[in-house]
Amino acid sequence: MNPTEQARTVFAADRYATELTGIQIDLVADHEAHCSLTLETHHRNARGVAMGGVLFTLADFAAAVAANTDCLADGDLHWVSLDANIHFLSPALGNGLKATCSPLKLGRTTALYQTLIESPDNGKRIAIVETTMVRV
């Protein structure tokens, strides 16, 4: 099984992200994850744009997938979010979101990841999230 398929199998247990929110894992590589989400009516706020919590959930999930690429084979996830900071750049008005997460710094017990959330409709940057991960 390749890393993307392994990630889909392992993270299927994250039912909030995968079932309720609808996040898809598109590609997984060494400490990198690409995830996407089709925006539905229930993802939008009263202004018709994606809720900030949807963006944050997408980024948190992508960071978890990216950080745990080295332990997907055994299914025992060793990395969890310690803290995160989100910068909202543009309203998410389109039909979907894509997240690309990669490390800025990898350490033995902590790591810093950055997730860029963009609109697949027009490539517009929607948010940038920095997540500190800790090994547990």
pLDDT digits (tens, 9 = 90+) for 61-87: 999 999 999 988 887 889 999 999 999
Please give, one letter per residue, the 3-state secondary structure of the chain: CCHHHHHHHHHCCCHHHHHHHCCEEEEEECCEEEEEEECCHHHECCCCCECHHHHHHHHHHHHHHHHCHHHCCCCCCCEEEEEEEEEECCCCCCCEEEEEEEEEEECCCEEEEEEEEECCCCCCEEEEEEEEEEEC
Residue with tokens 């990630």: 7
pLDDT digits (tens, 9 = 90+) for 5-29: 999 999 999 999 999 999 999 999 9
* % of the chain with per-residue pLDDT over 90: 93
Domain range list for the chain: 3-135
Contact predicate 11/65, CB 8 Å = yes
CATH of 3-135, one of 3.40.50.2300, 3.10.129.10, 3.30.70.3400, 3.30.365.10: 3.10.129.10
Q: What is the pTM of this model?
A: 0.96
